[in-house]
A and B are shown apart, each in its own frame.
Chain A
Amino acid sequence: NAGVTQTPKFRVLKTGQSMTLLCAQDMNHEYMYWYRQDPGMGLRLIHYSVGEGTTAKGEVPDGYNVSRLKKQNFLLGLESAAPSQTSVYFCASRNIDQETQYFGPGTRLLVL
């Protein structure tokens, strides 16, 4: 049972490039979340999903897209990366009858 995993662990992009971050969970959780974490700030919610095939916007959704084609995977896409998207990205998941979210190890993204 690996819990929540994220790939890649670290990536450097040039402004305007695109990429996809992958989150996978093996706990059969219904809900999945993408957060970003910046220095001096707590985690901020980008997008979330309450089930396969559904997504919703969080607090800071602009510049990101997501997809939940399979229950165990939640993809975060950056179509045209900007330096303001330099951050550490965390994925989380939780069961439908629990409020506690379980986090992955994070992806560190640097946009030059």
Chain B
Amino acid sequence: GESVGLHLPTLSVQEGDNSIINCAYSNSASDYFIWYKQESGKGPQFIIDIRSNMDKRQGQRVTVLLNKTVKHLSLQIAATQPGDSAVYFCAETLEGTASKLTFGTGTRLQVTL
């Protein structure tokens, strides 16, 4: 597949460990946030979302934390697996505005055996 994000920050994690991927968002008015996973040669895939009236949301093996005070999002992946290796993007938007998602630059997660 094509090279996505040649100069992305990279997080290396051992299989079985927990991963934490961070994202700083730009617009204090944004009220809806999404994490996407992008594997090589594929389009972004939805992982989990959170609205601004929440500070934590859990899915299957993933948790998203939102800190509106410092405009920070994090994605926690429990018991990281080789299949989790990908580039992870956060995206922000204002609900009801059509509308465009504003994406972060992404973080590459490498899972080592």
Contacts and interface: CB of A to CB of B under 8 A. Distances in A.
Nearest to A41: B105
B73 interface: no
A39 B7 CA distance: 7
B4 A37 contact: yes
Contact of B43 (A41, A42, A100, A105): A105
Contacts of B7: 39-40
Interface size class of A (residues with CB under 8 A): 20 to 34
B49 A100 contact: yes
Which secondary structure characterizes the binding site on chain B?
loop
Interface of A: 4, 31, 33, 37, 39-45, 48, 50, 56, 58-59, 88, 90, 92, 99-106, 108
A88 B2 contact: yes
B95 A99 contact: yes
A58 B89 CA distance: 19
A43 B2 contact: no
Nearest to A59: B100
Given A99-B49, A100-B49, A42 B105 contact: yes
Contacts of B102: 42
A48 B102 CA distance: 13
A32 B42 CA distance: 18
Given A40-B105, A90-B44, A106-B42, A33 B5 contact: no
